[in-house]
Amino acid sequence: MDKHFDQYWQAVLNRDSNRDGQFFYGVLTTGVYCRPSCAARTPLRKNVRFYASQEAARENGLRPCKRCQPDANIDARHNLMHEICRYIEKHYQQRLTLALLAEQAGMSPSHFQRSFKAVVGMSPKKYQDGCRIRMFKDSLKSHLKPEGNITQAMHSSGYESSSRLYEKIDTHMGMTPGTYRRGGADELISYASAETVLGPVMIGATDRGICFLQFDDADDRLLAQLNLEYPKASFQPMPIETQPQFDQWIAQLNEFLEGKARVLDLPMDIRGTAFQCMVWDYLVSIPSGTLQSYTEVANGIGKPKAVRAVASACANNKIAITIPCHRVIRGDGSLAGYKWGLARKRSLIDLERRVLVDD
């Protein structure tokens, strides 16, 4: 974060409330951390450190400022943004403008847009698109045989035309509606394996993105797992013409695992139930270096009683790291289970925290 230090310091000098939640600053002489808009006396620059999250500040031995109460205010903002999420889920078929949603939140449109994206990890429009796609998936699965089901599902999900729907298909579904309805049958998945600091990894991909990224200690077990995850699909070793793309994915993965990149941004072809996709979408919004309990995730998706179902969705994740189920732990702070071994989970958590502190 050093390239942003000058901007952060200027925000502190200006007590810029628009930057609240984007970063925190700690004062080493008093041992507290604050929001940028804190009204306390401005500290000396040499005594200030900047942090991307409250967790990073606390790990450095700092406590929340009693004057600006950074934790309480951020929690309130999180609660408000999640209320807006529930509003979008209830009215997803309607035209929800940024101005309308900002009015619901009692904010200016620009402030609301920044706050929503900071908390949820995506724009309000993208969140509404996700709600529509999930409903579309549910509608497809509930009508397996009659002709015209795709059209019926399209209209019930709030899409006025097939062109608008198909604009969203590749991003949110990774396959055509007909293929999804058939359970992914006849899909061709190419695969290849490589070495990483966490051991052997195998990547499986369709022409729309990665649908399988998993670790093990043996290639044959990884291939068996790929077949188990997609029993109706066909498989082939990664073709020579797509090998450069695979090499690029592995290079990005290794850069992340070596702490050289804070975010692992790979194209995904996500396959799962509506509930699983809801959980996985939420996991992607959890900031790097931050941990949440299964209960917090259940609350975050608006399903507070679905704690076990959340744990099951994490266990059924097919794309390690990019869908960061390693950021979910038990409420008592223990790591709980991890599909690819607790040692890998601990390594990933420690890695992200080191990178956060170094930034």
The candidate with the shortest Cα–Cα distance to 219, out of 256, 182, 191, is: 191
The dihedral through the CA atoms of 138, 126, 74, 264 has a sign that is positive
Q: In this structure, what are the phi and psi dihedrals at residue 174, rounded to the nearest 5 degrees?
A: 75, 5
Q: In this structure, what are the phi and psi dihedrals at residue 85, rounded to the nearest 5 degrees?
A: -60, -45
Say how far apart CA 307 and CA 298 lie, in whole Å: 6
Q: Which of 65, 68, 277, 325 is catalytic?
A: 325
Neighbour order of strands in the sheet with 188-196? 209-215, 199-206, 188-196, 234-237
Say how far apart CA 280 and CA 245 lie, in whole Å: 24
Say how far apart CA 125 and CA 298 lie, in whole Å: 22
Determine whether 85 is an active site residue.
Answer: no
With beta carbons less than 8 A apart as the criterion, state whether 174 and 320 touch.
Answer: no
Determine whether 34 is an active site residue.
Answer: yes
Looking at residue 20, the DSSP 8-state letter turns out to be B
Catalytic residues: 34, 325
